[in-house]
Amino acid sequence: MKLITNRVYGAEDILPADVYRWQFIEDIMRKQAQSYGFREIRTPVFEHTELFNRSVGDTTDIVQKEMYTFDTKGGDSISLKPEGTAGAARAMLEHGIYNDGYPIKAYYFTACYRYEKKNYGRQREFHQFGMEVFGAASPFADAEVMCAANSVFQRLGVRDITLEINSIGCPECRPKYTAALKEYFSAHEEDLCDTCRSRLQRNPMRILDCKSPVCSEIAKNAPNVLDYICDDCSRHFEEVKSCLDAAGLGYKVEPTIVRGLDYYTRTVFEFVAPDIGTVCGGGRYDGLVEELGGQHTPSLGFGMGMERLLLMLKNQNIEIPEPPSCDLYVIGLGDKAKLKAFSIIEGVRNASLTAEGDIVGRTLKAQMKYANKVKARFSMVIGDSELENGRAILKNMETGSQTSVSLGDSFFSEFFAAYVEDDNTKLLTQLDNIN
């Protein structure tokens, strides 16, 4: 087979056989977000490029190298979202949501686009689950978003993940630190990579984030940001730690975390997993809303990479339960029986269970095989004699046990009785296994 084209480099298809994993995780994320008082926001996949230049920052790798930017036919510069915060902040401001009072708590699922080299856990189109809080300066807010992210990992049964936190200060104390970094890295200028050499003047803090082995080795002895932050930032950081302690969420202070986006102030954090690296990154961005033209609005949030989360679950052997694909498979033999089968199938579906019948013209034998393939829990064959007697045999495909059920009005109550009994048996077996 010769196709005219394949998917774009760095993009992945999520196929029907795998999508249940995404849906399972997304359901948990939705539930957790709701239990922390967040509501979903959906914003466009593209924005005016200016938004990202101003928010993500035009000295960052994302804006300088990774953004998918193009001119529209009308001559506007548009970029595909490289992250989710900027769009959420813009929408919050544009629609005056702040008029409803603070805090505004929003969560989102979004595709993100970054022109990066494809690698393990690194794609050009990837997906994030994110949470943002606008209008909350209290350290409780910092702890709350970290607890919310952590609650997703806990619900999924993740064992091996570390929360690393740091404070990168505020516009008051940052210049002092930046000056110290400039002085330190200038002494190592020749050894730095080309990118970091240019970072040295424009944004030396970015050097701490460089993934080149030489730069990260040099960065090990760089001045520690926590020695430079002002009293207010220091107090805030101490209070965040107390809140995390009160919530029982363990963490490690990691002074080299600076995060790849310009808008962060004070608290920054990452959830890091072995072999994967950062699965979730976030922090406080008290200056962002003002930067976009709004009032001063202390805010914070995180982005969690869905693909990396899935890789982490795989590495930690965490099974995601496959949903039942078919509760009942009904086979009709003969024209009249086929119509009866079809009406029963529709009835079961309307009762929110899953049912299937033949739509491709398979023989009886092939249908039985197919019912096995789709892991049907029950099957039933309706032929002439079943139509005549008004009863058919409901077969439990796992245990092989058979029950006679009415094909009349009481079919549904009899079928559901068999279904519930099967559920109970499974539960009791599970309990037996636990005991």
In whole angstroms, how close is the CB of 86 to ligand ATP at the nearest point? 11
**Is there a contact between 167 and 225 (Cβ–Cβ < 8 Å)?**
yes
Which of 128, 167, 297, 299: binder of ligand ATP (CB under 6 A)?
A: 128
Among 57, 103, 139, 281, binds ligand ATP (CB under 6 A): 281
Nearer to ligand ATP, 147 or 272 (CB): 272
Q: Residue 135, by phi and psi: left (phi above 0), alpha (psi -120 to 50) or beta?
A: left
Question: Of 118 and 336, which CB lies nearer to ligand ATP in the complex structure?
Answer: 118
- Between 119 and 352, name the residue whose CB sits nearer to ligand ATP: 119
User: For residue 130, what are its two tokens?
Assistant: 């994110």
**Nearer to ligand ATP among residue 83 and residue 358 (C-beta):** 83
Place of tokens 């209290």: 138
Alpha helices in 270-410 (DSSP H): 288-291, 306-315, 335-350, 364-373, 384-389
Among 43, 53, 123, 203, binds ligand ATP (CB under 6 A): 123
How many chain residues bind ligand ATP (CB under 6 A)? 18
Question: What is the C-alpha to C-alpha distance for residues 116 and 126, in angstroms, rounded to an integer?
Answer: 11
* Residue 133 to residue 33: CA distance in whole angstroms: 12
User: Rg of the Cα trace of the chain?
Assistant: 28
Which residue's CB atom is positioned nearest to ligand ATP? 305
Length of the chain: 435
Map tokens 């040099």 to a residue: 218
Name which of residues 45 to 84 contact ligand ATP (CB under 6 A).
83
Measured from the CB atom, is 237 or 264 closer to ligand ATP? 264
Stretch that binds ligand ATP, among 118-126, 143-151, 159-167, 361-369 (CB under 6 A): 118-126
Taking CB under 6 A as the criterion, which residues in 290-329 touch ligand ATP? 303, 305, 307-308
Q: Does 277 bind ligand ATP (CB under 6 A)?
A: yes
Q: Which stretch binds ligand ATP (CB under 6 A): 122-130, 177-185, 398-406, 422-430?
A: 122-130
Binding mask 84-113 for ligand ATP (x = CB under 6 A): ------------------------------
Q: Which is nearer to ligand ATP, 164 or 358 (CB)?
A: 164
Closest CB 301 distance from ligand ATP, rounded Å: 11
Helix then strand then coil, in percent of the chain rounded to 5, is: 45, 20, 35
Instruction: Report the distance separating Cα 314 and Cα 382, nearest Å.
Output: 43
CB nearer ligand ATP, residue 223 or residue 260 = 260
Three-point CA angle 139, 167, 144, nearest 5°: 30
Given a contact cutoff of 8 angstroms between Cβ atoms, the answer to whether 331 and 380 are in contact is: yes
Of 10 and 347, CB closest to ligand ATP? 10
DSSP state of 39: E
CB of 163 to ligand ATP, least distance (A): 13
Q: Tell me how far apart the alpha carbons of residues 62 and 48 are, in angstroms, rounded to a whole number.
A: 15
Q: From 179-187, 217-225, 277-285, 357-365, give the range in contact with ligand ATP by CB under 6 A.
A: 277-285
The Cβ of residue 232 has, within 10 Å, a number of other Cβ atoms equal to: 13
| 287: its two tokens | 């200056």
Helices (H), 205-315: 213-219, 231-247, 288-291, 306-315
In the complex, the smallest distance separating the C-beta of residue 262 from ligand ATP, rounded to whole angstroms, is 11
Q: Which is nearer to ligand ATP, 121 or 135 (CB)?
A: 121
Site map 363..392 versus ligand ATP, x via CB under 6 A = ------------------------------
Residue choice 168, 219, 243, 279 for contact with ligand ATP (CB under 6 A):
279
* Helical packing angle, 231-247 and 139-156, nearest 10°: 40
- Closest by alpha carbon to 152, among 14, 305, 31, 258? 31
Under rule CB under 6 A, which residues in 184-213 are in contact with ligand ATP? none
Helix ranges (DSSP H) in 351-410: 364-373, 384-389
Q: Which helix (H) or strand (E) holds 412?
A: helix 411-434
| Residue number, 139 or 305, with CB nearest to ligand ATP | 305
The CB-of-184 to ligand ATP minimum distance in angstroms stands at 22
- Interface residue with ligand ATP, options 26, 116, 254, 422 (CB under 6 A): 116
Residues that bind ligand ATP (CB under 6 A): 83, 114, 116, 121-123, 126, 128, 260, 277-281, 303, 305, 307-308
